[in-house]
Amino acid sequence: MLAAHGGEAPGGDARGVSRFPFSAAHAQAIRVVAGWMEEAGLSTGCDEFGNLIGIRPGRGDGPAIILGSHMDTVPCGGIFDGALGVVAGVEVAAALHESGRRLHHALAVVGFADEEGHQFGVGTLASRCVTGGIPRERSALLRGRDGRTLAESLAAFAPGLPRCAFPERAAAYLELHIEQGPVLARSGRRVPAVSTITGIARTAVVLEGESNHAGTTPMTDRRDALVGAADVILAVRALARAAGAPAVGTVGALSVSPGASNVVPGRVDLSIEFRTIDGVRLRNLCAGMEAEIQQVGQNRGLSYHIGDWDLRDPVPMNEGVQRAIAQAIRDAGCEPFAMPSGAGHDAMNLAPHMPSGMVFVPSAGGFSHSPREWTDWEDAALGAGVLARTVVLLDEAGR
Ligand code: HGY
Ligand code: MN
Ligand code: MN
C-alpha cells in the first residue's frame, strides 16, 4: 500500500504518514505507483513539476479524461487523503485494460506532487503550476522548509521516470477523495458528488510588543505579544461562528519569540485561515479580521503586520460532470446527492480549464490530516466504482 512509502513522522504519531513533496519517500511512492500504472496499460512519466502522469491513448485522438489527486501528505497525516484518488484512478485504468475496453478519449491518471502546501506554503501548488495558476518566475523562487527553492527541489528530484507533459487537451477532470470531515459519515449516506469546493483565505500576521523580564515587569507595564495573539485567536473563532456554518476560521501555526519562560513575549507570528463557500462572506471575514487586529494593537499597545491575503474563491463543480456522477451513483444502487467540500483540492485548479467533478466517500469519525483517518474499504471500492462508471458515461457522452 502507498502508505508504506510515507517518510518519517517528524516527532509525531509514528502511525502517521509524512510524505513530503520531492522527498525520497515521494520518489519511492512515484516508482511504486508508476509500476501499478504500467501494469494497468498506462505509459508513465513525470512532468516538470514532479507530477506523476500515466496515459492510455483512446480510439480517437481526442482530448483526455483525467483522473487524479495528490501524492503528498501533511505531517503525520492519514493514508487516504490524496492517495485514494490516485490509486482509484489506476484501478479504473486497470479495469479498462483488463476488460480490453478502449475509450474514445485518452485516459490520464495524475498524482500531483504538492497539494498540502506544507513545504512551500502554497496550497495545491503543483496543480496550480501545471495549470498556469502561478507564474513560473514566482513559483521557481518559492522557498521550502528545507531552505531550497522549488526550482532547486525539482532539479534535485529524480524518481527515475522519463519526462512527460501534462495532457494539453482535456475533456474532463475527476477526483475521488475522502470527505475529511464528519458530515458525510453522520449523514449515513455514502458516495456524493461534490457541488462546490470551499473558498479559502489565508494570511500571516506578526504582532510585536516588547520582550522584558517576566519577574520584574509589572503587569501594568507590559506589551505582551502573546496576550494580543490570544485576543486574535479568539476573534478568529468569534468571526467564523458569527458567519455561520459552513464558515470556519483557524489559527493553525503560531511561533513565540524569544520563547523563554522568564521573558515576556515580544513577538508572535501566526497564521490565519478562513473558509466558506460564499465568496462575499469570505471577503467580509478578512475585512472583519483586519479590524479586529487593529483593535488588538490599540488595546495591547502592539504593532502588527498583516500579510497579503492568499484568497481563493469557492469553485463550483461542472453541472454536466455532476449529472454524470449522479447517474453513476444511481447505477451503483445509491441515492444521488451532492455536498460542498470544506477541504481544498487540486480540482479547484483544474475546474477553470476543463469540466471538473469530484466524488466523496466518508471519513470514519470525521478524522483527516491525522493517523486516525479511515475509510471503510467497501466505501473506497464503491467510490472507485462510481468513478469508473462516470468515466464511461462521460466517454460515451463526449464521443
Ligand atoms: O487544506 C486542505 O483543505 C487540503 O486538505 N489540503
Ligand atoms: Mn487532499
Ligand atoms: Mn489534505
- Closest ligand to C-alpha of residue 111 is 2
Nearest Cα to 108, choosing from 165, 159, 64?
64
pLDDT at 11 over 60: no
Residue 129 sits in the same domain as residue 156: yes
Domain boundary among 312, 334, 365: 312
Q: At what angle do helices 225-243 and 279-300 cross, to 10 degrees?
A: 150
Nearest CA to ligand 1 atom 6: 116
| pLDDT at residue 1, rounded to an integer | 66
CATH of the domain at 166: 3.40.630.10
Look up the domain containing 239 and give its range. 199-312
Tens digit of each residue's pLDDT (9 = 90 or more) over 23-34: 999 999 999 999
**Which grid coordinates belong to 239?**
468571526
Q: What is the whole-number distance in angstroms between the Cα of residue 112 and the centre of ligand 3?
A: 12
Residue 174 sits in the same domain as residue 215: no
What percentage of the chain exceeds 70 in pLDDT? Answer: 97
User: Are 58 and 106 spatial neighbours (Cβ–Cβ below 8 Å)?
Assistant: yes
Residue 165 sits in the same domain as residue 227: no
Residue 106 sits in the same domain as residue 143: yes
Q: What is the whole-number distance in angstroms between the Cα of residue 145 and the centre of ligand 1?
A: 18
Mean pLDDT of the chain: 95
Residue type at position 382: L
Q: How many CB atoms lie within 10 A of CB 241?
A: 12
Give the CA distances from residue 37 to residues 53, 60, 190, in Å, rounded to whole numbers and listed in that order.
9, 21, 27
Average pLDDT of span 330-355: 97
**341 band by pLDDT with thresholds 50, 70 and 90:** very high
Measured from the CA of 342, which atom of ligand 1 is nearest? Answer: 3
Q: What is the whole-number distance in angstroms between the Cα of residue 70 and the centre of ligand 2?
A: 7
Residue 192 sits in the same domain as residue 182: yes
Report the run of H or E that residue 340 belongs to, with start and end. Answer: strand 338-341
Residue 46 sits in the same domain as residue 98: yes
User: Are 107 and 65 spatial neighbours (Cβ–Cβ below 8 Å)?
Assistant: yes
Q: What's the sign of the alpha-carbon dihedral 131, 356, 22, 273?
A: positive
Pocket of ligand 1 (CB under 6 A): 115-116, 123, 343-344
Cβ contacts of residue 208 below 8 Å, gap of 6+? 225, 266, 267, 302, 303, 304, 305
Residue 326 sits in the same domain as residue 184: yes
Residue 157 sits in the same domain as residue 304: no
Residue of 127, 180, 276, 373 to mutate, ligand 1, most atoms within 8 A of C-beta? 180
**56 band by pLDDT with thresholds 50, 70 and 90:** very high
Q: What is the whole-number distance in angstroms between the Cα of residue 343 and the centre of ligand 1?
A: 5
Number of domains in the chain: 2
Residue type at position 171: A
| pLDDT at residue 60, rounded to an integer | 84
Residue 166 sits in the same domain as residue 133: yes
CATH of the domain at 268: 3.30.70.360
Residue type at position 302: L
Residue 262 sits in the same domain as residue 188: no
| pLDDT at residue 6, rounded to an integer | 76
- Closest ligand to C-alpha of residue 74 is 3
Residue 98 sits in the same domain as residue 45: yes
Domain boundary among 296, 312, 328: 312
- Closest ligand to C-alpha of residue 347 is 2
Nearest Cα to 92, choosing from 375, 290, 383?
383
Between CA 380 and CA 357 the distance in angstroms is 17
Tens digit of each residue's pLDDT (9 = 90 or more) over 171-224: 999 999 999 999 999 998 899 999 999 999 999 999 999 999 999 999 999 999
Between CA 289 and CA 294 the distance in angstroms is 9
Residue 219 sits in the same domain as residue 173: no
Domain boundary among 259, 292, 312: 312
Between CA 11 and CA 8 the distance in angstroms is 8
Average pLDDT of span 281-293: 98
pLDDT at 15 over 60: yes
Between CA 42 and CA 22 the distance in angstroms is 23
